[in-house]
Amino acid sequence: MDWRVQAPADWPAGIAAGAALAVPLLVGTATGHPGAGAALTLPALLVVMPLPTEAGRGERVRWLAARTAAITLAGLYVFLVGGSVWALVPAIAVASAAGAVLPRVGNTAGLAMVLVGITGPVEGFGIPALPQLAGSLWGAVLLLPRRNPKNPPPYRDPARTRQDWLHAARLALLLGTASALMAALHRLTGEAHWLLTGILLSLRPTPEATQTKARQRIVGNTLGGIAAALALLTHPGPWAVTGVIAVAGTLAYALRPANYLYWCLAFPLLLLLLTDFDQPTPWYAALVRAGLVLAGALISIAASRHLWPPDRLPEPRQRHP
């Protein structure tokens, strides 16, 4: 696996992302509402997922707006269904499939439905989906002024191919089946949703791309899970966790252009610590979550090879003398 630096790091973007994640947590903790701070930080984390490095300011606005809309719709849906677990099952499948054919939304749609859905409606904000909208806008505003590439080429929305639609259907089937199984076992809102995250972040349209992404996720989640477990062993308070999240967020986003593997190392630590920010979490929970993501990555590899694999060109006929 190639660990070498492949491009310059983007430290302004990293600092902006770190601030986007840390400030709501700091304010929430200082005011005695750490859960509210975490509710604002989660959509900020989802909206500041990596953007195309060649995208100019106008294109970044469109990507951030699309993600903000997807995250806000997830919050509104969760409010309307009252946090019903079974109502999440089709929503997770549909959101993930939609992200597969809408590049500007991507995995953000499925992740938002999973992560916002398991936390349920957030009380104390008064307006449905307000924390999702406010958190997304906060992250987008900080991220937008990052370094602008020189003479960026015009972005062209790629045409959808049969392979893209099959990928969307594969995602919907896998995530719908997995979430239904977890809902039946009363595990969807517990640790089991990390299996869905592993599938969503690993599965790609081709077996080769899936295998590459899964390897990076396996390495990242294993090391990230160990780091999170070590951090939880110290029984850190919200101030210490906020500091770790700020540092990890800065490194994840700054080093993303240098090598995608660096992002895979830092991002799991962010999710592992943020999802239970205001609740005591045993150290072994981080390892359980990392293990479930690993299982999701392995399921993705198998599905990409055996569930509607891409069409193969016929082998050329051999000429006999």
The token pair that represents 97 in the structure block: 């499939």
Query: Considering only CA atoms, which of 306, 292, 305, 273 is closest in space to residue 182?
Result: 292
Its pTM stands at 0.90
155 found inside a domain: no
Task: Enumerate residues 6+ apart whose C-beta is below 8 A from 267.
Answer: 220, 224, 252
Please indicate, yes or no, if residue 315 is contained in any of the structural domains.
no
pLDDT at residue 51, rounded to an integer: 80
Token pair for residue 139? 């992250």
Mean pLDDT by 10 residues, the chain (321 residues): 81 89 94 90 89 81 95 94 90 96 93 89 79 94 74 74 92 95 86 89 92 86 83 87 92 86 83 80 84 91 88 45 37
Helix axes of 238-255 and 11-30: crossing angle, nearest 10 degrees = 160
Is residue 319 a part of any domain in this protein?
no
Going from the C-alpha of 191 to that of each of 1, 17, 47, 126, 267, the distances in angstroms are 29, 26, 23, 28, 17
Within a domain: 107: yes
What's the half-sphere exposure (Cβ side, CA atoms, 13 Å) at 147? 15
The b/e string for 158-179 (b: 16+ C-beta within 10 A; e otherwise) is: eeeeeeeebbbebbbebbbebb
| Residue 64 lies inside a defined structural domain of this protein | yes
In-domain check, residue 182: yes
Is 71 within a domain?
A: yes
Asked if 275 and 41 count as a contact pair (C-beta separation under 8 A), the reply is no
- Domain contains 61: yes
Task: State the total domains in the chain.
Answer: 1
Residue 195 belongs to domain spanning: 11-148+162-306
**Rg for the chain, CA atoms, rounded:** 20
Tally the C-alpha atoms within 13 A of residue 245's C-alpha that lie toward its C-beta.
30
